[in-house]
Amino acid sequence: MKRGLFSLLIAMTFLAGCSQDSDLDKGSAAPSAEMANQEDGIPVDMPDDFNFVVRFGYGDVTKNEINTFQETVTKDLITKGTATAHLKFTQDEMREIYGKMREIHIMAPKRFTKSHSCSKSPSNEDEWTVTVDGKTESFSWTDRNCELSDDAIALLELRNFIQSIVNTKVAYQALPAAEGGYD
């Protein structure tokens, strides 16, 4: 009798540990609607808090700035200082910029340097701050070392795209022309 009870106890213990769902299946469940709506932590639909600022220029002179937090654009006038104007992107422009940022996984970790085979001056410098869905990331890159990583190239193309939109704005066109140059 004790032997039968003992066998039954072992069998029940063994069966209680078995289930039709393996631990491997638990990790591959269908993604939640929230996760399916994101890529690298970036929602498909542009969140209300999406904003960015990019400062750029030559060397340590990053006087140009496009700032959607403050709705301003600042132009480096070189020998004449800087000039700032109120500039607001349309919702369609912001969605287009957001879409391009999603394409390059703007909130994912980046690698900006490739090698240090040479040094050039002046060099391009960009500083970015991006807020998406309650998260803020800041990063910068330079082409001082001649070769750009794919991440830096993507950010340069993004900045040029944004600048092309800025260039069409009346407020930006009304700013004075730059005088002089950088060596």
* pLDDT tens digit sequence for 111-161: 766 666 666 666 778 999 999 999 999 998 887 766 788 898 999 999 999
Token reading at 121: 């001056």
Q: Which residue has the tokens 């009798």?
A: 1
Say how many C-beta atoms besides its own lie within 10 A of residue 62's C-beta: 17
**Distance (Å, whole) CA 175 – CA 182:** 20
pLDDT at residue 78, rounded to an integer = 87
Structure tokens at 19: 């289930």
Distance CA 165, CA 158 (A): 11
Query: What digits encode the pLDDT tens for the residues 64-113?
Result: 999 999 999 999 998 888 999 999 999 999 999 999 999 999 998 787 66
CB 83 within 8 A of CB 77: yes
Q: Is 98 helix (H, G, I), strand (E, B) or coil?
A: helix
For residue 7 the two structure tokens come to 């066998």
d(CA 68, CA 97): 11
For 21, 83, 108, the CA distances from 40, given in Å and listed in that order, are 28, 36, 6
pLDDT over 80 (residue 183): no
Q: Where are the domains of the chain?
A: 42-172
Residue 62 scores a pLDDT above 50:
yes
Q: How far apart are CA 69 and CA 81, in angstroms?
A: 22
42-172: CATH class: alpha beta
Using DSSP's 3-state secondary structure scheme, residue 96 falls into: helix
User: How confident is the model at residue 149, as a pLDDT?
Assistant: 83
